[in-house]
Amino acid sequence: MKRFLHHCSILLSLYIFSSSAIAFDYADALQKSLLYFEAQRSGRLPYNQRVTWRDHSGLTDGLEQGVDLVGGYYDAGDHVKFGLPMAFTVTMLSWSVIEYGEEISYVGEMEHAFEAIKWGSDYFIKAHTSPTVLWAEVGDGDTDHYCWQRPEDMTTSRRAFKIDENNPGSDLAGETAAAMAAASIAFRKSNPHYSHLLLHHAQELFEFGEKYRGKYDKSVGVVKNYYASVSGYEDELLWAALWLYKATDKEDYLEYVINKANSFGGVGWAITEFSWDVKFAGLQIIASKLLQEEKHKKYSHILEQYRSKAEHYICSCLDKNNGSTNVERTPAGLLYVRQWNNMQYVSTAAFLLTFYSDFLKKSNQKITCHEGTVDHEELFNFAKSQVDYILGSNPRNMSYLVGFGPNYPKRVHHRGASIVSYRENKGFIGCTQGYDYWYSKNGPNPNVLIGAIVGGPDNQDDFDDDRANYVQTESCTYNTSPLVGIFAKLNFFNNPPLIASF
């Protein structure tokens, strides 16, 4: 038994050594990740569309309700436009640009990053038809999942659902406000008029969500089986207020985050995930950064509590909290939060840890966890290890970023990618026809969904590349969006610009 354990430890050491020696092309990963958002576009595609196997779709969205809801993103492998995950996707894309814009520009990808944000934010402007009306969803999961069709052939219901004064949805209004506030910061220099418009919508949406409180999944019942708001709406209202403070510098928004810190759970919840549903960790990490500025000293008592919870999240990711409060890991070291689409939690964690590592470095600070102190370097290296696992540093040598490297998932659970391109074959494919011929096909998808990050391996690092295995092979916009900035940062870190010496 001892010899077996010794043999295992040697193999593990060899694996760790060989995986750390892999040098990844992060610039290529960044370029591919931004390409993915073009594959997820709904609506009339522009002249510069680079994903050529896609064509126009959803051109009558909102027509039944007398409103123009053409555009936006399909969230995953289906064709429903779900407002909450779409808004979170745009928030994270915008945050990537705000924090790592220089690094994205260094690769020459800023224009594509702006396009990815704007495709979502343009849709939110359309969907916010009056101060207290926001269209929450187009299509419904039940009828959509009955069919396996290309988006260009869609025959499913395109009914639209809204939140308003009588049917509140503070979580959806809050996240959409956060997305538009963050986007307004991202566009401030390059497109000030557009930035101002986004900020106007963000402020109205926040006021709407705050005044008419309620969970959106109670008002829009069809979303319950797909994107139920388990965490409630308090985290989104705090999150929106904080982004609006960053966008406007208006004290009222910061006071909201301070005054409701306790009653809304901002300093009460110690959370070990950050996602489209649960915003507390992101909120706590941004709030922590405010402690550095002199003008925030009067709020230091509450901001310290935010920081304590932020560092609980970080320590739990690093396996340095007390026992059961740590995030689980697979044998090869991947963060493991839950079975279904686990990669979403890995990519958001990688973003928050990198962001906080930058903060610690600039402020020359360390974190004290239950299991010891952590510096910015340890934080950064761990975040990098998670990204490298995604790109192929894992026992299967599998890249979970589709199209990256020699070995990646070929049977992504995605209607459009799994059926012959509409551009190649315009013959109509009926609702269940896709199941009959394309869904059950053993071969690779005819269209490569470049830049998609799939659900990923299970808790033993195993992965079954099967189209029907949607738990592992379906990709989502919010899996990829947090990594846009991180790929740029890692590329910049590995390939810093040459400074001329005189």
Q: How many C-alpha atoms does 246 have within 13 Å on its Cβ side?
A: 27
**Model confidence, pTM:** 0.94
Question: Given this model, what pLDDT does residue 119 score?
Answer: 98
**Is pLDDT above 60 for 130?**
yes
Q: Where are the beta strands (DSSP E) in 283-360?
A: 328-329, 335-336
The Cβ of residue 408 has, within 10 Å, a number of other Cβ atoms equal to 21
Catalytic residue among 201, 312, 413, 414: 413
**Is pLDDT above 80 for 133?**
yes
Question: Given this model, what pLDDT does residue 5 score?
Answer: 35
The pair of three-digit structure tokens given for residue 212, joined into one six-digit string:
């008419």
Average pLDDT in the chain: 93
Q: In sequence order, which residues have a C-beta less than 8 Å from that of residue 496 and are 6 or more positions away?
A: none
**Is pLDDT above 50 for 205?**
yes
User: Rounded to whole angstroms, how far apart are CA atoms 184 and 117?
Assistant: 10
Identity of residue 248: T
**Is pLDDT above 60 for 283?**
yes
User: Rounded to whole angstroms, how far apart are CA atoms 147 and 430?
Assistant: 8
Query: Can 413 be counted among the known catalytic residues?
Result: yes
**Is pLDDT above 50 for 500?**
no
Bridge partners (DSSP) of residue 143 are none
Alpha helices, DSSP H, located in 129-223: 141-146, 170-186, 192-211, 216-219
240 touches 246 (CB < 8 A): no
The Cβ of residue 426 has, within 10 Å, a number of other Cβ atoms equal to 11
What are the CA-CA distances from residue 18 to residues 21, 23, 92, 207 (Å)? 5, 10, 32, 53
Question: Given this model, what pLDDT does residue 458 score?
Answer: 97
154 touches 57 (CB < 8 A): yes
The Cβ of residue 497 has, within 10 Å, a number of other Cβ atoms equal to 8
The 8-class DSSP code of residue 446 comes to S
The 8-class DSSP code of residue 482 comes to T
